[in-house]
Amino acid sequence: MVSDYVEKVIKQHQNKKTALISILHDIQKKFSFLPEEALKKVASTLSMDINDIYGVATFYRAFTLIPKGKHSITLCLGTACHVRGGPKILREIKNLLKIEPGQTTGDKKFSLDVVNCLGACAVGPVMIVDGKICGEMNPFKAKKVIEKLSQNKKRERVI
Amino acid sequence: MIPKTVNIVIDGRSLNVEKGKTILQAAREFGIFIPTLCYAENLSAYGGCRICIVEISDQGSKSFLDTSCTYQVSEGLVVNTKSPRVVRARKMLAELLVASAPNVKIAQDLAARMGILQVRFPMEDNRCILCGLCIRMCYEQMDGKALGFMDRGTGRKVSMPFNKRPETCRLCRGCDYVCPAMIAPCPGVKDPGELCGRCIRLDEIPNCCPNGTFGCFCDQNPL
Amino acid sequence: MRRIKSLSELERWRQDILGQRAQYDTTIYVCGGTGCQAYDCQKVKAAFQREIKEKRLEAKVSLKITGCPGFCERGPLVTIQPQNIFYQKVKPLDVPQIVSETIEKKRMIEHLLFEDPKSHQKFARASDIPFYKPQMRLILSQNELIDPNRMEDYVAIGGYQTFAKAISKMSPIEIIEEIKKSGLRGRGGAGFPTGKKWADCRKAQGDPKFIICNCDEGDPGAFMDRALLEGNPHLIIEGMLIGAYAIGARQGFIYVRHEYPLAYKNAELAIKQTRRAGLLGQNILGSGFDFDLEIAQGGGAFVCGESTALIASIEGRAGEPRGKQIHTVEQGLWGKPTNINNVETWADVPLIIQKGSAWFSSIGTEKSKGTKIFSLVGKVKNTGLVEVPMGITLKEIIYDIGGGPKDGKPIKAVQTGGPSGGCIPASLFDLPVDFDSLKEAGSMMGSGGMIVLDEATCMVDVAKYFIHFLQEESCGKCLPCREGLKRMGQILSNITEGKGDEKDLILLEELAEVVADTSLCGLGKTAPNPVLTAMRYFRPEFEAHLKEKRCPAGVCIALIQYSISEADCSGCGACAKICPTQAILGEKKKAHRIIPELCLKCGSCKDICPEKAIMIQ
């Protein structure tokens, strides 16, 4: 199944080596991480060394080789968000979820990531929750979001 | 057919050097010493350790530092291998290196050569200096394509893909051979006249092989 | 969508589009940029669609979702034409009133107009608002007229005509001469003369040649390129078409960082549309010129904004830079001559070719021509994107356009140039902003990020922040950057915790010098700038941390204590409710107090206290 999907994605990108990063993004979107099998298939289909693909997959922060949690929280720590109190929000989230950025909670409910500037600086501090941009965050709002998501069974708009 | 040459100056000496050579190659040709770490003559130049830096002025430009192993000679180049700026920089680089890898002999050697008497940073204990020689050996000379850099920044490591030895690795031990960190600090002989034979293998060695040894000492080695 | 084969067909298309538009007597422009998305502009758009449908106004009222007009602080932004009314902070609930009052009855809604906080004057026209008045929005002004997903909007304002005229009436050399004469310098930060770069690439040996648009905009706080590529992708494509023709390139790439999904989506669609229109591909406009564009995506690496690392990324490798002795214009992508320019640089090209180099070089200063877009963010009232002529002073940008300090605390400094730049103190705000003036002060203009810092910002913390950022983003290839930045970060962390002494400052400076001198690429070479400028202009703050174990700005957690002023506290209990560790005790209507051992110093209580009774020491 993984192999077939990877073949499909690579074909969509016309088997171009220049599309390697885009291909990896598409694979990760489907499986929420980059499975070893997928990377091996990419290497063989594009005639590249698995070693180089592995290097690329571990070099870029967007990729993960470990499965992500159900809800993804990405906090921006760019300069503008930083001066508007970004670190305080990070501390609150770390306190609540008991994980570090890049990790997933034990119950696989939440994954936390930090990113260096999403380009929405004027509405900072910014947090992306399950793909939705939330501006003007603070520790209190962040706590509310996480509490609501913990309770929800289905994906509802909580902001 | 005489190859084209250029005139350059290294440490005040005018030299006539073949075009296409690097400053380091030119210096070695004329017996001028520049310390190196991640350079090996039979492998491509990497420019990662920055130890071989020299002060360069290209066609009268404002002088700058760059690695002699990668910088190609050109007409009118003026190079200084021991200027105060170079020495100051090299000393700090050596201090940073030895603070990161104090149990790697070559790091200690470099620090000693640079006259470092104190390390002002909290010491770590890395056994790999990330020179990349093993990777280049694997790719360029032995065609193994089994080793590579993973992650980036301070998390950068030499590893095999997914921490498993790929089929392309033939256990040639070329990585072993070129690794500058693979030398044990000499513990000294205990009795006069004793041959200890220890200076060949390190007890704990740079660990990029998933089995914990450099792919050579483990049971999976059919040799 | 139609296939265009000549300049006259392009003009005919434009006339047809304008003719189709004549039926509408009102057009509503709603900003759809990423900033406004955070303010739920999608709901505003949906509300308008509903209202227009309900009132059966589809034939008379046109609704457009546009690119970012720049005043992000006041989003969602809605402009009504032809009345030229600018509404800000529009909520979905306001929409029915807008349709009935403004569109049907032609009346303004007062509370949606921008009101100047000091004079309380209200402004109906965007161009009168103090934020917009001093600006010279040569490029950004197009954003508010265009729906980035509709090529027709770009064609309607004369899009692609400059390229069509250039390719038929000018030779590649003539185009390069015009760019040279205009004085255009790269807008990505380095400020290299664009005309010279193009000329060098044209001259270089090798085929095929490539051109690349660098939209990796990694500087935290900068989002000019995002707004441009998201809001007006066709402008960039036209610039690249002109460039490719001038340089002799047949293939181009737009490298978009992964964190800009909307820019990626809009640019990809724009390329598809342009291809269908016959303006990308083979034998464009019958001239024999072939050129096509591809989008390459980033993977989350700041270092990939550096030219050689960007090229490595497109080649499918890790973003490791290489030495710059061999220029990318001679040996770039796959060893072929490659010309890389920033998004804003490409955006300036059609304008220069259309209006002429003499016009462009009449704007700006002697060595820095034209306008520059800045992202003004941080502790300033009016945050957003501003486009101003080069040479304008920092003071004018921060106070006239920016409206001065946000929280009422005096402005202390402005950080320009991102992690490669530095902090400029308020005493130097009379400096003109251009490529060279800020360099003397130790900073640089950079790609345009301008982060305003006030008294509540700790400069040691800012220095620490930038070093940690760069440490995170370093590729790790060279020793000085990988190890040097780590050690600088450790020293700065220690200072913010009150550990260390004077010797650490000397060591920090020594490290800074060596990292700048010996690093392989620009990331390492410029990494020490924020630290060095912070130490140069704000040394007393560093010394206060070291000698007095005190953080004057009240930021560094290990050195501050939160307490409640008995005199000011009304006993409302809001702080106690919000405190995550229940560290605040007190009875109703009586002064509360904070238990120091439980206090996390998260600041939630300070944010919520209505009496401003929470103090930091």
Interface touch B48/C507, C-beta < 8 Å? no
- Structure-model confidence comparison of residues B93 and C102, the more confident one: B93
Cβ atoms within 10 A of the Cβ of C563, count? 14
3-state secondary structure of C312: helix
CA torsion through residues C442, C446, C449, C450, sign:
positive
- pLDDT > 90: percent of chain C: 74
Boundary (domain end) residue, out of A15, A32, A59: A59
Judge if A75 and A123 occupy the same domain. yes
Q: What percent of chain C has pLDDT over 70?
A: 100
**C524 Cβ under 8 Å from any chain A Cβ:** no
Residues with Cβ within 8 Å of residue B32, at least 6 apart in sequence:
B10, B11, B13, B81
Does residue A77 share a domain with residue A55? Answer: no
The pLDDT value given to residue B1: 63
Write out pLDDT tens, residues C274-322.
999 999 999 999 889 999 999 999 999 999 999 999 999 999 999 999 9
Q: Is there a domain that residue A65 lies in?
A: no
Rounded to an integer, what distance in angstroms lies between the CA atom of residue B81 and that of residue B90?
11
Q: Which of B71, B89, B130 lies nearest to residue C514, judging by beta carbons?
A: B89
How high is the pLDDT of residue A72? 86
Residue A135: pLDDT band (50, 70, 90) is: confident
| Inside any domain, residue A64 | no
Res B61 pLDDT > 80 = yes
Contacts of A135 (CB under 8 A, 6+ apart): A120, A123, A124, A125, A126, C35, C38, C39
User: Which residue numbers of B have CB closer than 8 Å to C's CBs?
Assistant: 47-51, 53, 64-67, 70-72, 85, 88-89, 92-93, 96-97, 99-100, 120-122, 130, 149, 151-156
- CB of A47 less than 8 A from some CB of B: no
Minimum mean pLDDT range among B178-182, C213-217, C399-403: B178-182
Domains and CATH numbers, chain C: 20-132 (3.40.30.10), 159-360 (3.40.50.11540), 371-454 (3.10.20.600), 459-547 (1.20.1440.230), 561-616 (3.30.70.20)
What are B31's two structure tokens?
Answer: 């017996």
| Cα C426 from Cα C421, distance rounded (Å) | 16
**pLDDT, average across residues C76-99:** 92
Least confident of A111-125, B40-54, B97-111, C438-452: A111-125
Cβ of residue C221 closer than 8 Å to a chain A Cβ: yes
Question: Tokens 């995002």 correspond to what residue?
Answer: C226
Contact B124, B99 (CB under 8 A): yes
Residue A110 structural domain = 71-151
Structure tokens at A34: 């980059």
- Rounded to whole angstroms, the Cα distance separating A69 from A120 reads 25
pLDDT bracket for residue A154 (50, 70, 90): low
| A51 vs B contacts (CB less than 8 Å) | 145-148, 160-161, 166
- Residue B213: band (very low, low, confident or very high) from pLDDT cuts 50, 70, 90: very low
Is residue B217 very low, low, confident or very high in pLDDT (cuts 50, 70, 90)? very low
Number of domains in chain A: 2
Q: What percent of chain B clears pLDDT 90, i.e. is strictly above it?
A: 56
d(CA A75, CA A111): 11
CA dihedral of C512, B92, B185, B189, whole degrees rounded to 10: -150
Give the model confidence (pLDDT) of C503-545 as tens digits. 999 999 999 999 999 999 999 999 999 999 999 999 999 999 9
CA distances to C87, C141, C369 from C136, rounded to whole Å, are 21, 9, 13
Shared domain for A54 and A83, answered yes or no, is no
Contact A118 C259 (CB under 8 A): yes
For the segment A113-118, the average pLDDT, to the nearest whole number, is 81
Tokens found for residue C98: 């807008």
Measure the CA–CA gap between B35 and C19, rounded to whole angstroms: 74
Angle between helices A50-59 and A20-31 (to 10 degrees): 70
Cβ neighbours of residue C411 closer than 8 Å, sequence gap 6 or more? C379, C380, C398, C404, C405, C426, C452, C453, C454
pLDDT of residue B66 exceeding 50: yes
Report pLDDT for C528. Answer: 95
Neighbours of B11 (CB within 10 A): 15
Q: Please indicate whether, in this complex, the C-beta atoms of B146 and A36 are within 8 angstroms of each other.
A: no
**Do residue A82 and residue A105 come from a single domain?**
yes
- The highest-level CATH class for domain B5-82 is alpha beta
Query: For A76, how many CA atoms within 13 A lie in the half-sphere containing its CB?
Result: 31
Which chain B residue is nearest to residue A54, measuring alpha carbons?
B161
- A23, part of any domain: yes
Q: Average pLDDT, stretch B202-218?
A: 45
Per the domain annotation, does A17 fall within a domain? yes
- Residue A77 counted as domain residue: yes
pLDDT over 60 (residue A104)? yes
The H helix count followed by the E strand count for chain A is: 7, 4
pLDDT of residue B215: 39
Q: Which of C2, C610, C608 is nearest to C273 (CA)?
A: C2
Q: Does C325 contact B121 at a Cβ distance shorter than 8 Å?
A: no
Angle at C234 between CA C231 and CA C235, to 5 degrees: 85
Identify the pLDDT of residue C230.
94
The pair of structure tokens assigned to C229 is: 């590529």
* Same domain flag for A47 and A98: no
- Asked if the structure places residue A66 within a domain, the reply is no
**In the prediction, which pLDDT does B195 show?**
55
Query: What is the predicted pLDDT for the residue at B120?
Result: 93
In the predicted structure, residue C437 carries a pLDDT above the cut 70: yes
C321 within 8 A of B152, measured Cβ to Cβ: no
- Whether residue B92 and residue C514 make contact (CB cut-off 8 A), yes or no, is yes
Q: Domain holding A75: CATH number?
A: 3.40.30.10
Query: Which of C316, C383, C475 lies closest to A18 in CB terms?
Result: C316
Rounded CA separation C75/C91 (Å): 9
Q: Which pLDDT value is given to residue B63?
A: 95
Interval A38-59 mean pLDDT:
93
Beta bridge partners of A127: A75, A134
When pLDDT is averaged across residues C461-483 and rounded to a whole number, the result is 95
Q: Which two tokens stand for residue B170?
A: 């033939």
User: Which domain CATH number covers A51?
Assistant: 1.10.10
Average pLDDT, chain C: 92
- Distance CA(C270)–CA(C312), nearest Å, equals 25
Question: A78 and A125: one domain?
Answer: yes
Of C220, C378, C462, which has the smallest distance from its Cβ to A116's Cβ? Answer: C220
Domain ranges of chain B: 5-82, 84-126, 128-186+198-223
User: Could A55 and C300 be called an inter-chain contact, meaning their C-beta atoms sit closer than 8 Å?
Assistant: no
* Distance separating the N- and C-terminal Cα atoms of chain B: 48
CATH of domain B128-186+198-223: 3.30.70
Nearest CA in chain C to B22: C325
A79 shares its domain with A145: yes
Of B146, B148, B166, the CB nearest to A55: B148
CB contact under 8 A, B161 and A51: yes
- Do residues C241 and C247 make contact, with C-beta atoms less than 8 angstroms apart? no
Residue B204: pLDDT above 50?
A: no
pLDDT of residue A153: 57
Rounded mean pLDDT of B1-20? 90
Between the CA of residue B109 and those of A113, B180, B195, B201, C346, what are the distances in Å?
A: 41, 11, 22, 18, 51
